[in-house]
Amino acid sequence: MAKKIKLPLTEEIIKSFKSGDNLLLSGVLYVARDAAHRRMTESLDKGESLPFDIKGQTLYYMGPSPAPPGRVIGSAGPTTSARMDAYAPRLLAAGLKGMIGKGVRSLEVREALKRYKAVYLAAVGGAGALISKTIIKSEVVAYPDLGPEAVLQLEVKDFPATVINDIYGGDLYVEGKKKYKIT
């Protein structure tokens, strides 16, 4: 049974998450991938502020296909999170509370999740058509010059996600594999 969660994530909500939980998220998500991450961390290194307040927010690693006429967005599934690993601890230190993508995170990111009390969620990769139906609004809010890699603000309703890494060190990828492995 999926838990209905209102975004942004609060400390209380984050504490309640356990790896393996199914969620339906509603509210605001920010979309950023490689190029936007590079730029955001460069800004932080220079002591500049980010183009949107990242405190308490959730980032979705995604690069949509173009929206056909009459649609909010095209296909909109998660991309591989590992490409953002180098930048994630920096953003978590700046107050980021949630990340949504697919695939395993580095040890550094997993440690940072525990330290900063944040969570890593997965959406089903390759289910971009299905996920697009939960996105009710999409607009560019930063770095428009990056084109398809610009930062988007999405409004989602019942966006399906699964908790991979909780704040207690739980990891669905590790636990799931261990449970079903046949030696």
Partner 1 sequence: MRNIKADLIIDAVSKLFKEANYSLGDDVLAALKKARHEEESPAGREALDAIIENASIAADEKIPLCQDCGTAVVFLEIGQQVHIEGGDLYTAINEGVRRAYEEGYLRKSMVDHPFTDRKNTGDNTPAVIHADIVPGDKLKITVLPKGGGAENMAKLGMLLPASGKKGVIDFVVNAANEAWSNPCPPVIVGVGIGGTAEKAMAMAKHALVRKVGQKSPDKENAGLEKEILQKVNNLGIGPMGYGGRITALAVHVESFPAHITALPVAVNLQCHSARHREVVI
Q: Which of 46, 144, 145, 182 binds partner 1 (CB under 8 A)?
A: 182
* Cβ at position 10, least distance to partner 1 in Å: 25
Site for partner 1 contains 46 (CB under 8 A): no
Q: Strand 58-60 to strand 22-31: parallel, antiparallel, or no bridges (unpaired)?
A: parallel
Is cis: bond before 51, omega within 30 of 0?
no
Distance CA 128, CA 83 (A): 19
Distance CA 21, CA 141 (A): 30
Site string for partner 1, 86-105 (x = CB under 8 A): ----------------xxx-
Q: Which of 46, 107, 145, 179 binds partner 1 (CB under 8 A)?
A: 179
Distance CA 40, CA 101 (A): 18
Give me the residues that bind partner 1 (CB under 8 A), please.
Answer: 20, 22, 62-68, 71, 74-77, 79-80, 82, 102-104, 122, 124-133, 147-148, 160, 162, 172-173, 175-183
